[in-house]
Structure 1
Amino acid sequence: MKKLAIILVLAVLPYVSNAQSNFDKYENMKDVTSMVMTSKMFKLLSKIDFESSDKETQQYLNLVENINNIKVFVTDNKEVSQKMRSDVDSYLKNSSLDELMRVKSDDGENIKFYVKPGSSEDYVKELFMYLEGNDNHDGPGTVILTITGNIDLKQVSKLANDLNIPGGKELKKVKKGN
Structure 2
Amino acid sequence: MKKSLILIALLAVPFFASAQKAFDVFEDEKDVTSFVATKNMFKLLSKMDFDSNDPEVKEYLELVNSLDNIKIFTTDNLSVASKMNDAVSKYVAGNSKLSELMRVKDDGKNIKFYSKEGKTDNYVSELLMHLTGNLEGKERTVIMSITGNIDLKKVSKLTKDLNVPGSDALKNLDDKKQ
1:133 aligns with 2:137: no
- Residue equivalent to 2:116: 116
User: Any stretches of 5+ residues in structure 2 without a counterpart?
Assistant: 1-6
8 Å CA contact 2:142, 2:165 repeated in 1: no
1:31–1:169: structure 2 CA closer, same or farther, 3 Å change rule?
Answer: closer
8 Å CA contact 2:63, 2:155 repeated in 1: no
User: Any stretches of 5+ residues in structure 1 without a counterpart?
Assistant: 1-6
Question: Over residues 40-86 of structure 1, what are the superposed CA-to-partner deviations in whole Å (9 max), with x where a residue is unaligned?
Answer: 11100011121231222111111111111111111111111111111
Partner Cα separation in structure 1 for residue 139 and residue 41 of structure 2: 26
8 Å CA contact 1:74, 1:140 repeated in 2: no
Question: Over residues 109-139 of structure 1, what are the superposed CA-to-partner deviations in whole Å (9 max), with x where a residue is unaligned?
Answer: 111111111011111111101111239x615
How far did residue 170 of structure 1 move?
Answer: 2.7
8 Å CA contact 1:75, 1:141 repeated in 2: yes
Question: Highest relative contact order (Cα 8 Å, sep 6+), 1 or 2?
Answer: 1
1:41–1:55: structure 2 CA closer, same or farther, 3 Å change rule?
Answer: same
How far did residue 164 of structure 1 move?
Answer: 5.3
1:67 aligns with 2:67: yes
Q: How many residues align?
A: 164
1:74–1:162: structure 2 CA closer, same or farther, 3 Å change rule?
Answer: closer
8 Å CA contact 1:100, 1:177 repeated in 2: no
1:46 aligns with 2:57: no
1:163–1:67: structure 2 CA closer, same or farther, 3 Å change rule?
Answer: closer
Matches within 5 A, 1:122-161: 122-134=122-134, 138-139=137-138, 141-161=140-160
Partner Cα separation in structure 2 for residue 147 and residue 139 of structure 1: 25
3-state SS, counterpart of residue 170 of structure 1: helix
Give the TM-score of the pair, scaled to structure 1.
Answer: 0.81
8 Å CA contact 1:103, 1:167 repeated in 2: no
Kindly, what percent of the aligned residue pairs are identical? 54
